[in-house]
Structure 1
Amino acid sequence: MDFGDDQECSDAQRKKKRYHRHTPMQIQMLEAMFKECPHPDEKQRMHLSRELGLEPRQIKFWFQNRRTQMKVQHERADNSTLRSENDKIRCENIAMREALKNVICPSCGSYFDEQKLRMENARLKEELDRVSGLTSKYLGRPITQLPLIQHLAASSLDLSVGALGNPTIAPSLDLDLLTGSGSVTVPHFPTAVPEIEKPIMVEMATNAMEEVIRLAQTDEHLWVRNGGDRGEVMCIETYDRMFQKPDDRYRDPDIRIEASRDSGLVLMNATALVDVFMDAGKWLEFLSAIISKARTLEVLATGMVGRSGSLLLMYEELHVLSPVVPTREFHFLRYCRQIDQGLWAIADVSLDLNRENQFNSPLRSRRLPSGCLIQDMPNGYSKVTWVEHMEIEEKVSTHLLYRELINSGAAFGAQRWLTTLQRTCERFAGLMATTSRELGGVIPSPEGKRSMMKLSQRMVNNFCASLSSSQIQRWTMLSGLSDVGVRVTVHRSSDPGQPSGVVLSAATSLWLPMSCERVFSFFRDENMRPQWDVLSSGNPVQEVARISNGSDPGNCISLLRNFTLFGNQTQGLNSSQSSMLILQESCTDASGSLVVYAPIDIPAINIVMSGEDPSNIALLPSGFTILPDGRAGGVRGASTSSSAHQTGFNSSGSLLTVAFQILVSSLPSSKLNVESVATVNNLISTTVQQIKAALNCPSG
């Protein structure tokens, strides 16, 4: 035996041991301890040594290296921030000096007051510093200003006022305020996030994920049952103690907190659900009743196993289906992580990119760490625990009609998200089913059924988007019908799924002293349709086909036709007198209901029934939204506000929105006149009067 070789082998082994690599589990526990205590004492190091199987000396060196690393990162980020800000201010000063050399007012010919411009520049700089200070308090360190969201004016739509007046329209109506005119703006998003910001975003997303998991799994003292068998609201005092943050002490008293949690079974497996959350297109399609716009701005991380580890920068607008309620706009990080086999977590947290618009908007909203846990269950189901946490600052009070619903927190609370997701996943399961659930025998094949369902889904999504009340889609109010009034907006349509030309949208909202269920049943009953559908000329309606969309009988797609009796004979489906049919979808859940319909001709229906792609079939939907009013006995699982004592979605009344879309002209260059607006105003007014009469409601 060669003892020299043994000695060399032993030396090599000792040398190799010096380069010990910690396991992922050890690193995870060390990182968690570092966040709680970057300077552990000897007792804490000994405890970690026993728990991780490492020497105390290794623990000590790891923490020293980690502190040094953090310090270097902070210094590098701070230096880069200062350089960037310094360069920016220098460029602004140079540009301002050059501009002031020869600036003349175009209206009066006089030179601008340089001192006034300097004062205005100083004021804007102070405003920027104030906003940056608030952001740095939240993060615990300075942050650079990200690119602002610019708004570019679109080409104007030529609108002219006809010579004939109409007494039902407000004399002050300015048609140039309608969407499609010069007021239309198209958001321009930043194409890339600066590299210096990405580590901060990763840290924000990681912290949000940890908070969401705790919020979803913690029960004691943090969540309070809000009546009924589902839905919880957050105890803010307990939250502040559990999650102490740098900006807690600076919370603006004008900011309202909405925080709720709910859980339930969803008919979709966890992997498919995660794919819906991480795909902006699917996210919008599944939840169009809540989301009016959604877009992925940048993929910051793609993840390693499936979607796990994916980090997205996203944009979305949330809406209540009424033109009187402003949308809530968010730029946020969405982080996905697989926690265990069959268990996933999704975490969202707001990122203030659009600071300029926030000061102009009547509503400032920020999503605090929110999200959900998705647990695979047998038979293709998932258990979803949803946490929704926002802070809201309203510069203009919510319209009185919707104030209770909004202030209670139910309009954007966890239960509305979850019940809507449950309903749409049931619909998706029906779409994927190979067996036909169509009643009436008109649709010949499963392919025809799927084509009909896709067409109807597009119809509903278009209707929901048409009711958005964002900064981009502005509504003009006409006088006459209640304090809400009839509100109108107009836009050019070039989508192959809509008639091409100028489309006028009109809507109004009103309160009805009866339950949402009763109102929904009224619109679902085809025998009652002649009492509210002014376009049917009082003719009865026959359902010729129906596709079930879920477990609730009210969730279905119907194919209807008006029929006229000539003696004892009824005109057939393909009769020339009955060339138009009505495609209608109704859907309902605990948070509200929709009834959406659109005329469609028989050749288009034949294309759909054959199973062909329906994406080029033009539809212009109208319909109704029905929401609880949020009053006493109102909304569960929604709020931390003073309305939090209310229980159940079944409230004392319902909020009905009536909406029509009309093709004014098939020529995009055509002009809109007052007569067209008067026509749709009268159509809405007559419909509302007939609905109230049929439901025995007061006409005032």
Structure 2
Amino acid sequence: MNEMCGLLHLNNPCWVKSSTDERWFIHRENYDKTFPNSNRPYKSPTARIESSRDCGVVPMTAIELIQIFLDPIKWMNMFPTIVTEARILDFLDSGNMGISIQLMYEKLHILSPLVESRDFFFIRCCKQLNHTTWIMMDVSYDLFKEIQTCAPSYAWKFPSGCLIPDMGDRKSLVAWIEHAQVDEKNQVNHIFRDLLYGHQTYGAKRWIVTLQTMSERNNFPMDATCPTRHGLKKEGLQNVKQISQRMVKSFCEILSMTEKLDFSTSSELNNTYRVSIRENEETTQSKGFIATAATSLWFPLAFKTVFNFLKDDKTRYQWDVFAKGNNVTELARVLTGTLPGNNITIIQSYMLKENNMLLLEESSIDEMGAFLIYAPIDLPIVTSIANGGDVTKVDIFPLGIIISPDGRLASERGNNGSAKDGSILTVAFQQLICTNNNSISQEQRMEAVTSVLNLLSSTVLQIKAALGCLD
């Protein structure tokens, strides 16, 4: 905790500013001198250190944030695009005297099926420093060292976390520090890994921006801004937000595919497609198996340009397989933030209309990236949701697109050092395979894989063609 408090001082000599991108990082020699510790993780020639700091104003009180950080379910829901899994392993201090300490596990992911997720076993300590200020600190605990060192990716968290002074008026200033050592043994997709890491994918700024975006989403006034025949009243609006959040979280979870692949992909696909089949373990959903296909690819366009194109109803027919070359109609819209494009929409498309279905979609954009996640839902279920019905038992199998800046410095882009914006698209589709028992034949597996891969590759090709990026 002393180390964490020391690093939170902006004038600490451990911090130096990068001459290329203005980011702050920890100077190793100064750090080791200031905070000597013989119990740090093993040294490896393939390991690297990641460190960063950032701060921002969040529209929540300090105590509300601490309550979220101490609850693994709320923690996952607040950071659905970062945290795949989280749970408490043990309570080390119950929270007396303004301090709470617990042993936790979490899995973090990078929103690409081509890069491994990270597993952390760590101690989380939340302490009230004074009437208005709290601190949250995480530090790795070597509970399962043998398991971790055999894993594809070994990650160790040095003291990291945030300081939260409450500003009043339901706002807090959050100062965040991330400091970790990572040793990735799988170097296959180093190009995508380096492009994504260059944008501080696990850095402090991403945690801050995500916290701001989700806090705004959760506290944004509920109001349908587009006429709807489903009569979205308060209960219906709350239901739409709830099921949409489950959809986004579910989509992000399926992208951690590197450790559970079932099929090898052909060289024609450039080894960037990933396919898996898993049993549906959601107790409230239809029984069966789910085939998932995902890929990540680079585009020579800024992520905002790509997002604005994909989000435009007038151009959706050019790439969406559900549109089948026809225009789509927006039936309802629920705002989730002040930025254009941050909303939940109910869409009618040509193919789904024939099957008495609608499309539920949530889109979001901030300075760290954007996403467009959607799922087909039966019309009677949409009507039930709008009328305040139970959303916990609704089947939802989301598809979608994540758009990330490619993370390279301007000096590294384009020819002769000229700046050239780029972005990485991660596209994923999934399909339910219904069976009469708890098994699936090889023929069913191959049919499902072929079907979901065709949908994915067709969508990717159509997006490339529409954006003029076929080469």
TM-score, normalised on structure 2? 0.92
1:215-226 → structure 2 map (5 Å cutoff): 215-226=7-18
Partner of 2:95: 303
Aligned twin of 1:282: 74
The superposition leaves residues 573-617 of structure 1 with CA deviations (integer Å, 9 ceiling, x where unpaired) of 9xx846210000001222221110000111111111112331111
Q: Is the 8 A contact 2:51 2:180 kept in 1?
A: yes
Partner of 1:653: 422
Cα distance between partner residues in 2 of 1:398 and 1:409: 20
1:544-555 to structure 2, matched below 5 A, reads 544-555=331-342
Equivalent position to 1:445, from 233, 240, 248: 233
SS of match in other structure, 1:534: coil
The answer on 1:213 being equivalent to 2:5 is: yes
Measured against aligned partners, the alpha-carbon deviations of 1:330-363 in whole angstroms (never above 9, x if no partner) come to 1000001000111000010001222232232221
**1:427/1:497 CA distance change after superposition, 3 Å:** farther
State whether residues 114 and 272 of structure 2, in contact with CA within 8 Å, keep that contact through their aligned partners in structure 1. no
Give the AA of the match of 1:549: T
SS in structure 1 of the partner of residue 360 of structure 2: strand
Instruction: Give the letter aligned to residue 417 of structure 1.
Output: W
Shift of the 580–219 alpha-carbon distance from structure 1 to 2, 3 Å rule, reads same
Q: Partners in 2 of 1:510 and 1:445 — Cα distance?
A: 40
Distance 1:556 1:229, change over 3 A: farther
Match of 1:427 in 2: 217
Distance in 2 (alpha carbons) for counterparts of 1:595 and 1:328? 24
Asked if 1 retains the 8 angstrom alpha-carbon contact of 2:363 and 2:373, the reply is yes
Which residue of structure 1 lines up, in the alignment, with residue 47 of structure 2?
255
Q: Distance in 2 between matches of 1:248 and 1:669?
A: 46
The answer to which structure has the higher helix fraction is: 1
2:431 alignment partner in structure 1:
662
Q: Say whether 1:540 aligns with 2:332.
A: no
Query: Quick one: which amino acid aligns to residue 558 of structure 1?
Result: T
Relative to structure 1, the CA distance from residue 478 to residue 242 in structure 2 (aligned partners, 3 Å threshold; closer, same or farther) is same
The answer on whether the counterparts of 1:542 and 1:563 sit within 8 Å (CA) in structure 2 is no
- Distance in 1 separating the partners of 2:41 and 2:452: 51
In the other structure, the counterpart of 2:243 is 455
Q: For 1:266, give the aligned amino acid.
A: V
Instruction: Letter of the 2:205 partner, please give it.
Output: Q
Tell whether the 8 Å contact from 2:114 to 2:258 is kept in structure 1 after alignment: no
Structure 2 residue matching 1:440: 3-state secondary structure? coil
SS in 2 for 1:533: coil
What code does the residue aligned with 1:321 have?
L
Query: 1:242 maps to which residue?
Result: 34
Structure 1 position 678 matched with structure 2 position 455: no
Whole-angstrom distance in 2 between the partners of 1:234 and 1:468: 29
CA distance, structure 1, for counterparts of residue 27 and residue 470 of structure 2: 41
Distance 1:589 1:230 in 2: 20
Give unmatched runs, 5+ long, in structure 1: 1-208, 565-572, 636-642, 644-649
Query: Does the Cα contact within 8 Å between 2:166 and 2:172 map onto a contact in 1?
Result: yes
Contact (CA 8 Å) 1:561, 1:578: kept in 2 or not? Answer: no
Query: Identity over aligned residues, as a percent?
Result: 38
Does residue 522 (structure 1) correspond to residue 309 (structure 2)? The answer is yes
Three-state SS of the structure 1 residue aligned to 2:129 is strand
Task: Indicate conservation of the 8 Å contact 1:497/1:619, yes or no.
Answer: no
Q: Quote the offset at 1:482 in angstroms.
A: 4.1
1:183-236 per-position Cα deviation (integer Å, ceiling 9, x unaligned)? xxxxxxxxxxxxxxxxxxxxxxxxxx2211211124243323447998522222
Q: Which amino acid aligns with 1:261?
A: R
Give the corresponding residue for 1:469.
257
In 1: Cα distance, 2:170 partner to 2:22 partner: 22
Per-residue CA distance 1:154-209 (angstroms, 9 max, x = gap): xxxxxxxxxxxxxxxxxxxxxxxxxxxxxxxxxxxxxxxxxxxxxxxxxxxxxxx2
CA separation of 1:634/1:372 partners in 2, compared to 1, >3 Å: closer, same or farther?
Answer: farther
Q: Shift in Å at residue 479 of structure 1?
A: 1.5
Q: Which moved more, 1:266-275 or 1:359-368?
A: 359-368
Alignment correspondent of 1:618 = 395
Q: How many Å apart are 1:522 and its aligned residue?
A: 1.4
Contact 2:323 2:350 in 1 (8 A): no
Taking the TM superposition and a 5 Å limit, the aligned residue runs for 1:99-498 are 209-226=1-18, 231-246=23-38, 251-304=43-96, 308-397=98-187, 399-408=189-198, 410-430=200-220, 433=221, 436-441=223-228, 442-469=230-257, 471=259, 473-474=260-261, 476-480=263-267, 482-498=269-285
In 2: Cα distance, 1:227 partner to 1:593 partner:
28
- Structure 1's 229 and 498: CA in aligned 2 closer, same or farther, altered over 3 A? farther
Distance 1:541 1:416 in 2: 33
Query: Between Structure 1 and Structure 2, whose CA radius of gyration is higher?
Result: 1
Alpha-carbon separation, structure 1, partners of 2:57 and 2:9: 16
Any runs of at least 4 consecutive aligned residues in structure 1 with deviations exceeding 6 A, and if so which? Answer: 227-230
Q: CA offsets, 1:227-286, max 9 Å, x none?
A: 799852222222222212225797444321101000001111111100110000110111
| Alpha-carbon distance in 1 for matches of 2:66, 2:185 | 36
| Structure 2 match to 1:592 | 369
- The whole-number CA distance in structure 1 between the counterparts of 2:388 and 2:268 is 43
CA distance in 1, matches of 2:19, 2:371: 25
Report the equivalent of 1:602. 379
2:348 counterpart residue number = 561
Letter in 2 for 1:664: I
**What is the Cα deviation at residue 537 of structure 1?**
1.6
Q: Is the Cα–Cα contact under 8 Å of residues 400 and 428 in structure 2 kept in the other structure?
A: yes
1:633 equivalent in alignment to 2:410: yes
CA distance in 1, matches of 2:138, 2:290: 36
Match of 1:647 in 2: none
Whole-angstrom CA distance in 2 between matches of 1:551 and 1:228:
31
My pick for the range that moved more, 228-237 or 679-688, is 228-237
Provide TM-score, normalisation by structure 1.
Answer: 0.63
Partner AA of 1:423 in structure 2: T
Moved more, 671-680 or 369-378: 671-680
Q: What displacement does 1:396 show?
A: 2.4
Q: Is the 8 A contact 2:322 2:349 kept in 1?
A: no
Q: For the residues of structure 1 that align with 2:42 and 2:282, how far apart are their CA atoms?
A: 47
1:679 counterpart letter in structure 2 = S
How far is the alpha carbon of 1:454 from its aligned partner? 0.1
Q: Structure 2 vs 1, CA of residues 692 and 495 (structure 1 numbering), >3 Å: closer, same or farther?
A: same
Amino acid at match of 1:259: S
SS of corresponding position for 2:458: helix
